[in-house]
Amino acid sequence: MRPLRLFAVSSLIAAALCLCGAGMCAAQDPATRDASAPAQNPSQTDSAGTPALKLTLQDALARARKNSVAFQSALTDSAIARQDRFQAAGALLPSVTYNNQAWYTQGKNGQPIFIANNGVHEYLSQANIHESIGLADVADFRRAAALAAAAKARAEVASRGLVVTVVQDYYSVAAAQQKVLSAQKAADEGDRFLKLTQDLEHGGEVAHSDVIKAELQATERHRGLQEAQLGLLNARLDLAVFIFPDFNDNFEVTDDLHALAPLPTLGEVQQQAARDNPDVRAALESARAAGFDVTGARAGYLPSLIVDYWSGIDAPQFAVNGSGGVSNLGSSAAATLNIPIWNWGATQSRIKQAELRRAQAQREFSLAQRRLLAEIKSLYSEAETAMNELGGLARSAQLAEESLRLTTLRYKGGEATVLEVVDAQTTYAQSSAAYQDGAVRYRVALANLQTLTGVLTTP
């Protein structure tokens, strides 16, 4: 029979998808498939029989934070900036070193020929405490502290962006699973309807054109099932690459796509965004760092003080006591005040550069504030719209399923045409897919709100 040949080709394509790891077989020939067997869930075990890893959304987020290269790069930048701040703070404090030197020079009659040397033999073993005091050093520390805060805020931006990606991939897998189940149900319904038209044709109750239309529709439903299985495979691979350090597609996601996830009020979103938005915080700290750049550049006009203190040995013998029992231990101190006089306008040029950077940083901070206000309204409206539409999509899917059942019964009773049944089947398939897509859209909209507030709404 021609239907059997068409479904045999469909089965071969489905088998190829199974070998790719989709974990469920495509629809088979209606003459050989057990209609009572339920559609299989995504892969429960791998080829070696290892049980699949069960992942919740929080598990996926934790794995993504650990394995995401982009997120780890942001964390590394933040850690480097903290070390820069630590080093700048250390530059403000006195440093202690211990120097050991032995000088040998040409002498004459026990006196050194080179006037820079104090003796033919000179030994130095001294501790040196060094302190440099200047406004530029203080400005460098404050600038490093501001940049560290900005890097920390950018790491938070990366973290929140990571959440959006994981939520979208995670719930795309959950939606793809539901689409496969719905497509399997639609394919089964197409097979049953084809069998029904064939039986009615044999009884002389319908024309052969009804059988042709039913066959075409059944073939279309099997193609839809194969596309749904392929979509599930791709969704699983996208998530697996993102959350695992090595390739591993032997996992299951917790199907909480349609669990209750309330939308916070607009006032709550605005309050949390004003307090916790990392984009604005990063722009603010960058502007502060640029201001300290200006201060550091202007410090080039001011004097700087260097203080040194030495304690130890500076003698012609490497010993605590010299000839005659005189102690070689001693100490000395020096203070240097550097007063800038003339450097051909280099300081003025550095100030001009720093002021230009500060003006640009202030403009970027202002833009970040305006963008936050716009994103609050846009993303909240998106989430609100997705939530409002989700209820209607759920109702449409229920009505489409009931309509398909009733239209099929009317067809059996001779009260409906084959075109009405086909249209009901198509509507059911489209409504079910739209419902799953609407649920993913709402979840992603909530995750986008989290980029503003830092609060992820989970069931």
User: Does pLDDT of 8 surpass 90?
Assistant: no
Compute the distance between CA of residue 140 and CA of residue 146 in angstroms, rounded to an integer.
10
pLDDT for residue 459: 53
Q: DSSP class of residue 323?
A: G
What the block records as the tokens of 267 is 């006032």
- Asked if residues 383 and 263 have their Cβ atoms less than 8 Å apart, the reply is yes
Closest listed residue to residue 189, CA positions, set 213, 218, 212, 215: 218
User: Does pLDDT of 409 surpass 80?
Assistant: yes
Burial class (CB in 10 A: 0-12, 13-18, 19+), 54: exposed
User: Does pLDDT of 189 surpass 80?
Assistant: yes
Domain ranges of the chain: 2-24+56-67+140-301+352-453
Write phi, then psi, for 288 (nearest 5 degrees): -65, -40
User: Does pLDDT of 97 surpass 60?
Assistant: yes
Q: Kindly report, residue by residue over 68-82, the tens digit of the pLDDT.
A: 888 999 999 999 999
Compute the distance between CA of residue 46 and CA of residue 60 in angstroms, rounded to an integer.
19
Going by pLDDT thresholds of 50, 70 and 90, the confidence category of residue 48 is low
Write phi, then psi, for 248 (nearest 5 degrees): -155, 115
Give the pLDDT mean for 190-215: 91
CA distances from 320 to 21, 107, 316 (A): 81, 24, 11
Q: Which residues contact 165 (CB under 8 A, 6 or more apart)?
A: 64, 242
Classify domain 2-24+56-67+140-301+352-453 by CATH number. 1.20.1600.10
DSSP H or E stretch at residue 337 = strand 329-338
pLDDT for residue 326: 83
Give the pLDDT mean for 334-348: 92
- Asked if residues 187 and 311 have their Cβ atoms less than 8 Å apart, the reply is no
Write phi, then psi, for 39 (nearest 5 degrees): -65, 140
- Asked if residues 173 and 232 have their Cβ atoms less than 8 Å apart, the reply is yes
Give the pLDDT mean for 217-238: 94
pTM: 0.75
Q: State the chain's mean pLDDT as an integer.
A: 85
Compute the distance between CA of residue 218 and CA of residue 425 in angstroms, rounded to an integer.
10
User: Does pLDDT of 7 surpass 90?
Assistant: no
Query: What is the DSSP track for 382-400?
Result: HHHHHHHHHHHHHHHHHHH
Going by pLDDT thresholds of 50, 70 and 90, the confidence category of residue 324 is confident
Q: Kindly report, residue by residue over 272-323, the tens digit of the pLDDT.
A: 888 888 999 999 999 999 999 999 999 999 999 999 999 998 888 888 887 7
pLDDT for residue 386: 94
| 3 state DSSP class of 111 | strand
| Pairing state between β 53-55 and 251-253 | parallel
